[in-house]
Structure 1
Amino acid sequence: MEPSPTRAHAPPYRCCRLGLRHQEEAEQAKGPEDKQKFQGGIMPLSAAAKRTKNTVVGDYMSSDSGTPPMDLNQPMYEDESSGTPMSSQHPIGVNAAKNKGKAKAISSQAPDRVPNMKEKPQPPHLVFLPSGIGNPATFFRLAAAMAAPRSCRVTFINVQPHPVDSDFASQPGVELLDVDMLADTDVATTISDDPFIAHVATTNRSLYQLTPILASLRASAVFSDFAIAATLSQISADLNIPLLVVSTTSVKFLAVPRLLSQDPNVFSDSAEEIEVQGMPSIPKANIPAAWLKKSSTNHLLTEYLVPNARALSRVRGILFNTFDWFEQETLAALNRSQPPLFPIGPLQPYQKLGGHQHFLTWLSEKPAKSVVYINFGSQEVISEDQMRELRKGLEICGYHYLWVIAQGTACFERRDNGMIVKGGVDQERVLTDPAIGVFVNQCEWKSIMQAAWEGVPVLAWPQHGDQMMNAEAVEKTDLGIWMKEWNSRGEEVVDRDEIGRVVRQTMEDLDINKAAMIARERAREAYEIGGSSQKAFDKVMQMFTSSNN
C-alpha cells in the first residue's frame, strides 16, 4: 500500500467555456492560420477551439491573485519576478508544482545559427497522464524510474482533484502539472446512471481540453492507462505523439478485453470457460460478472471495455508491472499480436521521506516467520460478519498477526497476539521485515509483485474485479495458495475455525516458503542489469532515444 497521498497545492486557475464568438470563429475559420504550426508551443485560438471540442484553452485564465490573461500569440518567457517559467502557465488551469532550472524563450522561428553537430541530443521528454480512474501508484513508480535514473525529462499531468503522493512530487527530474478540467457532466449523465460509467464518460469527453498542453510540451511520448485509451489514442495521433498504455493489473487480465474487442458476444454461449489461443482457457467464474452481461444497455461494455480494447492496436506498446518468469506463458501468447507487451517489473519504490511508524518497532521485536500480515487494500468489501470471523480466526491461529485496515482514522490497537493498524502503511517496509511469514490479501496486483520481490508466501482471498485472475497467477507460480472454495460460497461467511486452520497450515508449509523464495530470486534476476525486465525497459527507451539523436 502506498503512503497516504498529499495533494500538491496549486493556484486556482481554471479554464473557461468557449463563448459564442469563439464558437463561430471555430466553425468559420478556414485560413492558413488554422493549419500552421503552434507558435511558442501554443495553438492559435481558432485552432485551439476546434481541437478542444468547443472548450476554451487560454481564452482567459482567472486566479485569486489576479493573474492577467495570456497572449496566446506570443512566445513564452520566464517570469522574472517569480522565477517561474511562463511555459508552466499552460493554456488550461495548470500549476507547475516543480520547475528545475531556468526556462528559455520558446519560439517556432528558425534558429539564427547552424546547430553544432557535436551538441548532445536532448533527453526524451516523457509525459505521464493517468486518467485518475484507479490507483496511480504504478504511474508514480514508473515515472520516477524513467526520470533521473534514465536521464529522461518527465512531466506528470495530474488531473484534479486526484491527490499526488508528496514523496513522488519531490523526485528529481519530475515536473508536476496540476490540471483542473471543466467536466462535461451533462452528456455523461445521459449515457448511464452508473457512477463509474458516468465518470469514465466525463473524463474522456474532457480530455480534448488537454490537446494544447500536450502540443506545447513537445513530448517524445505519452504514457496513460486503459480507461482513456480510445480518446487519447486519437488525440496523440493528431499530434503525432507516440502513446503507450500502462497496465495496473496482470497480463492475463488484458486477454479478456482483447477478446471482447474482437467479438463483444464472446461470452454469450453456455461454455464454462473461454478459450484463448496459446494459453490456458479462462473460467467464466474468474471474469467480473458485469462483463458477462450481453445487453445493449451494458454500458460497461459499450462505453468502456470495447472501445478502449480496440484502441490498443493503435498504441506503441503496453507496459506491465510484472516480470517474464511470473507470466511467461501468457506473455508469449499475447505478444503474437500487436501492440508489443513490455514486462518491466516488479517496479521498485522511490525514495520515501516519511518517518518511522510505531508498529514497525512492535514488528521488529517478533521472531522470524512468526507474523501473519493481513491487508485487503483501500477498497475492502468484506462484510462485518466476515471481519469478525477473520479477527477470531487470527486470534486462534497460534501466530502473531498485523492487520492493516485502510479505512478510518489512523491509529494502532494492540491485541493479545497481534496489532490492528488503521490507515495507510508503507507496505514495502512491512514485507521486508523477516518476521512476516504469510501475506493474506485480496490480490491487488501491486501487492502480489511486492510479495514476489520479498519472497513472502501469499494466502489469496480475491474479492472482485481482476483479483480472481491475479489469484490464478499466485497459484500457478506457487507464490502461495488460493482457497477457491471461499470464493465459491458467495456471501456465505467463512468461519473462524477454518480461517485459523488454513492460516496455520500456510505458515508451517515449508514447500510454500521454498517456492516463494524461488519467486524472489526470479524477480531480482529480472530486475538486475541484463535481466528480462531491464531489457524490456531498454526496448521502451530505444523508441525515444533513437528519435532524439
Structure 2
Amino acid sequence: MSHSNNPCSRPHIALIPSSGMGHLTPFLRLAVSLTPHDVQITLITAHPTVSLAESDSLVQFSRAFPQVMHKHMLIPSISNNSNAKTYEDPFTVQYEAIRRSSHILSPLLSSLLPPVSAVITDMSLTSMVVPITKTLNLPNYILFTTCAKMLAIYAYYHKIAHNMETMKDDIPIPGLPPIPKKWLPPLLLSNSNNLLKTHFIENGENFVAANGVLVNTFEELEKETLAALNSGLIVGQLPPVISIGPLIPSALETGEELAWLNDQPCSSVLYICFGTRAAISRDQMREIGIGMVKSEYKFLWVVKGKQVDREDEDELQDIVGHSIFSELKQRGLLVNKWIKQEQILSHRAIGGFISHCGWNSVTEAVWYSIPILAWPQNADQKINADLVRKNMVGKWDESWGWGGRELVDGTEIAQKVEEMMEDKLLRGTAEKMRNKARLAVGLEGSSHKGLTKLIHSLS
C-alpha cells in the first residue's frame, strides 16, 4: 500500500519508541524539537509500560504538548513464555513483547489520518518495523538513542557475534580504533543465546534497509566516528547517519528537591544518580554513603534499590544503612523516586555528577557543563564513559569495573569525588563542550541543519 503525499501538505511523522526512560526520553525530546516546524506528530507507545516513570512522563508530556497525537499499542505480556527467561532484563523482555506485536502496528499506521509521511523507529525495534514500513511504502528512519560509537558497534556486531569468545582482548571495527572487549555488556560476549544478543544481531542486520539513522549526538563530540559511519568503512550499505543532538531537555514539572538546592552555594553540590534501570547492591550503597560522609561535600542522591521503580517500596534507611543514615541526612538530600534530572543538572548549585553514563545523562551533563564521575553499570555505558573521558568532560576509573561486579570502597569514592569537584581544568573543558553543544543545535549548527534537511525531504 502506498502513502503518497500532496507536495503542499504538512509532513506527518510517526514516532515509535521502545521500552525504558533511556529510550522514551529522546523520543519525547525529538517530538518537542519537531513541534516548531510545520509537521504533524503521532507518538505510538507500548501499553502497559514497564516502569511508572515512563507512564508518568507520557501523561505529563500529553498535557504539555496536546498537539502531539498519542496512540497506544496494547502489548500482550510474554513474561510466562519459556523464551523470556527470568534472568533477562525486564526492559529487554518488553522490547521482545513489542517486536512480537508487529501485527498490531501495520493497521495502526495505516489508519492514521492524514496519511503518515515517515516513521522514526527506535533502534531496538528496527527488525520489526522496517519490513512493515517497506510494505506500506513509507520512509523509515531509525532514532539511535545512544552515541555514534555504539551505533558503529551495533551495526557491525552481527558480522562478528559468532567469533566473540575467540577474540582475545579487543574487538576490531573497521574505520575505528579497536574496542576493548570488556567495554561491551557481558551478554553480548557470551556464546549462549539471550534476548539482548538476538536483538543486536537482528536489528543491526536491518539498519541497511532504513532510509537514514538519526543519532542523539553532535559533530564536535564524535567527529571521527560519524565520518567513519558515513564513509561506508564500518558497514558498506549503511544509510546516511545524521547527528541531530543533543536533543534538548524540556522541563515539564518542578519538585521539592529544588527548594533544598536553592539554599546551597554555587557548584557546591554533588548529584548522584544511576538512572532508571540500574539497581545498586545494598553493600555498594553503604560504601557510597560512607564515601559521601568522608568527602564532606553536600549531595543530592537518587537512591534506587530495585531494577523497576514500581518495586521500590523499601525505606531509605534500610537501603543505605541505618548506621550512617542520620549523618547522610545532615549532609545532603536523599530521594527514592523518579525525578526530572534536567532540572537538577541545570541548577546553579550542582558542581558534579556521579553517573552510570546512560547516554541521556551524558548529553544532559554536557548541555549544562556538569563534570561527570563515570561509573558504568551495564549496556552501552562503558563506551559512553570512554567518550566522557576522551572529551575531558569527566573522569572514569576503569578499575571500578561494571557496577555490582566489584565492591568499590567508600574511602576511594570520597577521594575520586574530591578530585573531580576540585578539578578546574575539567570544569573549563566542560564549559567549552557545552558551548559546542549549543552551537550544534543553533540555527547554523550541524545538528539543526541535519534535522531541518530531513523535514524538508519529507515535505
Same fold, judged at TM 0.5 (above): yes
1:443 deviates by 0.4
Q: Is 2:212 the partner of 1:317? A: yes
Higher share of residues assigned helix: 2
Q: Is 2:288 the partner of 1:390? A: yes
TM-score normalised per structure 1: 0.72
1:75 corresponding residue in structure 2: none
SS in 2 for 1:189: coil
Aligned ranges 1:213-224 → 2 under 5 Å: 213-217=108-112, 218-224=115-121
Deviations 1:179-223 (A, max 9, x none): 32456889x635866645654443222112221221222211111
Residue type of the alignment partner of 2:138? I
1:488 and 1:144 map into 2 onto residues whose CA distance is 34
Determine which structure has greater relative contact order: mean sequence separation of CA pairs < 8 Å that are 6+ residues apart, divided by chain length. Answer: 2
Contact 2:21 2:276 in 1 (8 A): no
CA 1:280 to 1:527, structure 2 compared with 1: closer, same or farther past 3 Å? same
Contact 2:78 2:84 in 1 (8 A): no
Contact 2:75 2:97 in 1 (8 A): no
TM-score normalised per structure 2: 0.86
SS in 2 for 1:394: helix
**Equivalent residue for 1:438, pick from 352, 372, 375:** 352
1:541 deviates by 1.3
Contact 2:14 2:43 in 1 (8 A): yes
SS in 2 for 1:177: strand
SS in 1 for 2:219: coil
1:292 and 1:469 map into 2 onto residues whose CA distance is 15
**Equivalent residue for 2:39, pick from 149, 152, 169:** 152
**Equivalent residue for 1:339, pick from 239, 263, 267:** 239
1:168 corresponding residue in structure 2: 61
Q: Is 2:150 the partner of 1:253? A: yes
1:131 and 1:359 map into 2 onto residues whose CA distance is 29
Percent of paired sites with the same residue? 33
Aligned ranges 1:86-105 → 2 under 5 Å: none
1:267 and 1:120 map into 2 onto residues whose CA distance is 49
SS in 1 for 2:357: coil
Aligned ranges 1:166-245 → 2 under 5 Å: 166-170=59-63, 171-182=65-76, 189-190=82-83, 195=88, 199-217=94-112, 218-245=115-142
Report the more deviating stretch, 198-207 or 135-144: 198-207
1:299 and 1:247 map into 2 onto residues whose CA distance is 19
2:424 and 2:195 map into 1 onto residues whose CA distance is 47
Residue type of the alignment partner of 2:418? R
CA 1:240 to 1:133, structure 2 compared with 1: closer, same or farther past 3 Å? farther
Q: Structure 2: which 5+ runs fail to align? A: 50-54, 233-237, 317-324
Report the more deviating stretch, 400-409 or 478-487: 400-409
2:321 corresponding residue in structure 1: none
1:358 and 1:488 map into 2 onto residues whose CA distance is 32
SS in 2 for 1:415: helix
Deviations 1:143-196 (A, max 9, x none): 12213x11110011122112252221131430111232456889x635866645
**Equivalent residue for 2:329, pick from 404, 415, 431:** 415
1:506 corresponding residue in structure 2: 420
1:438 deviates by 0.7
Q: Is 2:402 the partner of 1:402? A: no
Contact 1:375 1:405 in 2 (8 A): yes
Contact 2:78 2:93 in 1 (8 A): no
SS in 1 for 2:177: strand
1:475 and 1:417 map into 2 onto residues whose CA distance is 29
**Equivalent residue for 1:139, pick from 15, 20, 27:** 27
2:442 and 2:37 map into 1 onto residues whose CA distance is 15
1:76 corresponding residue in structure 2: none
Q: Is 2:207 the partner of 1:293? A: no
CA root-mean-square deviation = 2.6
Deviations 1:470-511 (A, max 9, x none): 101100100100011111797332222111111111111111
1:467 and 1:213 map into 2 onto residues whose CA distance is 34
CA 1:182 to 1:284, structure 2 compared with 1: closer, same or farther past 3 Å? closer
SS in 1 for 2:417: helix
Residue type of the alignment partner of 2:31? A
Aligned ranges 1:19-34 → 2 under 5 Å: none
Q: Is 2:369 the partner of 1:455? A: yes
CA 1:183 to 1:367, structure 2 compared with 1: closer, same or farther past 3 Å? closer
Q: Structure 1: which 5+ runs fail to align? A: 1-36, 42-107, 109-118
1:484 corresponding residue in structure 2: 398
